Structure 1
């Protein structure tokens, strides 16, 4: 039974598992190294995998994905289950709103397209509604007819936008399955897609878009065996997860301030960030005592407000619709983490 539909229904009092949400349905072997570092900051790694390719993550990186699945640290969520009618309606209206606002008008249609499963676009929940937005995209040269019957070739910018907003839309249904999705990516363009959406003039936000620069908080564990990483996670994961929660709280609070107050908050926060990051690096150095590349964590996001009543019935407050309705995890905020391993060894002996 899929993890997203198994016996994970939680009572309101049960703590949600905070899982790093990777936007693609699987990672390649060469992308797996940074996944190990995510295990320090979150309760696991979640991916949204269409049912027809459910086993592909295990084959794409069997040395890592299979052990994580065996230990319950890889959560394979099903879009056929989670992308429900409400999510489909919200995603469709958001895309139409962006199309009407001209957000995609300057894209070059003569570029390599990339496939996105029909189910992640809402095709399983409401094929007719999904076809509405696909027709709009095809008319603008941003989508093409399916070549395999299960996926849609999309312009890469549109595809990235959909992959970026999906975890925001899916939070309510994911929480009902026991998971708090924490969108994470090693690619700056993924986080930028969220920021571009939040900052669109057609989308009314409350507060401001906030980005916190990459802070070197720990070490890139790509050369460390998985069993050692998991042992370190058991001993020191609480410190890493507390750092992430504190960073998220800062972004949420700072996004509600005016520019002058936000600048002052960043000045005060930088020293605290540096102190916490240094503590995490000391923990890692003590455990492995070998030169490892530094590993940075950044976050971008915004505080927003829902329209009164039903945001769709109110004529669409697109950001309100983007965030969903009755979430327990981080209500009133949208964000995405950026994780990046530096390519050079730290000159400070980290």
Structure 2
């Protein structure tokens, strides 16, 4: 681990100012991802700014009927909050499907959004990785790529985003509030994370001088008909091979609105509005769910070891939708 300097911010404005004053500065809160990256010499910040004393640790009501989750609310606090469990059970389910209780007790909402990929080649500094060192190549393209992306890839990177929480936030249509030297702004969740393209080193559209302050949940939480289904190599403490956040608004057995987001398949939580629209007005049947699943993976591409994910994604979408609709699970 390289040497670094450290300070503790007491105000949001002070934290943003400190970020601008130091070269290679990073914010740190729970540190559950950043410290790992520093230990592996993947991330080498020259200055750490502790933001744990900032007033960003509350879950509050929004005037529009939704909830605002402060960036420093821990994953455990969010998952077990009575309002979230009652109004946004999809989010609670997703958070509890990820990591261990100890990590959830430390990991924060803002930090969860900024998790970096768990690609083997990203963590191994002896191998080429355009995300870690732009221009060096992508070791996963011709290497062991079982956990890698099948959607939204580029010839520069096939890494996946590791978060469970973010998959649910994408399905719910959340928004991310950030602040920087130019003031506050809000990003739709669909615009927060990026696909790799030619710049896989950029995970998000957060500016280098900005701080995440909160995540806003809309009033509609799809509390009656939702499911988070995670397929992984072992039952707990493993990242998703494929995960699906499914949310439905049903009336008389017909779908009024559908939301679908996939994890473990792309550089960001994957939503396909076209596939969602296919379900609108349709009966909640396995046949219609399969049609939507086929549409979601229509542009999917496997790279050898991970080609099985295409079929796995389709089956997981169908099962998640059936579970959300309260149907008997398809075989």
TM-score using structure 2 length: 0.29
Tell me: higher relative CO, structure 1 or 2? Use CA pairs within 8 A at least 6 residues apart. 1
